[in-house]
Amino acid sequence: MIDLHKLADYEEQKLKVMGAAEIFRYFCMKMLSADYVLGKESIFETDCSGTVCFPLFAMDLNIRCTAEYLYHHIFITVGGDIRNFHNRVLAVFYGKHGNISHVSPIVGRGVILDAVEPDQPVMLKALASVASWYEDHDYTIHFREIDWEAARLVARMEEHSWEREADEMLKELIR
């Protein structure tokens, strides 16, 4: 196997030339195959909102909140044409009876990173088939784009910071 310490130097170089949307997706992908655990947000264990909060944390935005809160306070811009995702951070939210119960970041054209249930690891899924399932079960689907200023505002709010219930891994990663 390659030397992972040496690889880290190259990854840091790569991150320096990426835009915010690319960096967000890069850190989303670090969570691929993580176990679904409610209330977690690390590369080993996460829930649905953790798939959004961990990449934001990695980008210096100290946020830990629910899918509902992300929808109402951070991803407040209606998504528009989701095929044009390259320079945008987009997520799909699923709700029923006015409540948002699930979120998945959009990581590719028609592809989401989904953390949905304990017996299934975090995986890449086709957005169309997942959306179809939710629609068949009477959910409303919402495509939203992050509002970076709103995210920075929430990151300064102590009640939504990761320190409340942070995974030990996150504490170790702070520089």
Instruction: Give the domain CATH number at 37.
Output: 3.90.1720.10
Looking at the 3D structure of the chain, how many domains does it have? 1
Report whether pLDDT(172) > 70: no
Q: Rounded to whole angstroms, what are the CA distances from 167 to 26, 39, 61, 70?
A: 20, 9, 16, 19
- Give the pLDDT score at 83: 77
Instruction: Report the C-alpha gap between 9 and 61 in whole angstroms.
Output: 22
The whole-number average pLDDT for the span 113-121 is 96
- Give the pLDDT score at 80: 78
pTM: 0.91
At 175, the pLDDT band (50, 70, 90 cuts) reads: low
Report whether pLDDT(165) > 90: no
Report whether pLDDT(75) > 80: yes
Q: Which residue has the higher pLDDT, 12 or 167?
A: 12
The whole-number average pLDDT for the span 98-110 is 96
- Give the pLDDT score at 85: 80
- Which domain, by its residues, includes 142? 4-173
The CB density around residue 111, as the number of other CB atoms within 10 Å, is 17
Query: pLDDT tens digits for 122-164?
Result: 999 999 999 999 999 999 999 999 999 999 999 988 776 665 5
- Give the pLDDT score at 120: 95
> What DSSP character marks residue 164?
G
The CB density around residue 114, as the number of other CB atoms within 10 Å, is 24
| Residue type, position 8, single letter | A
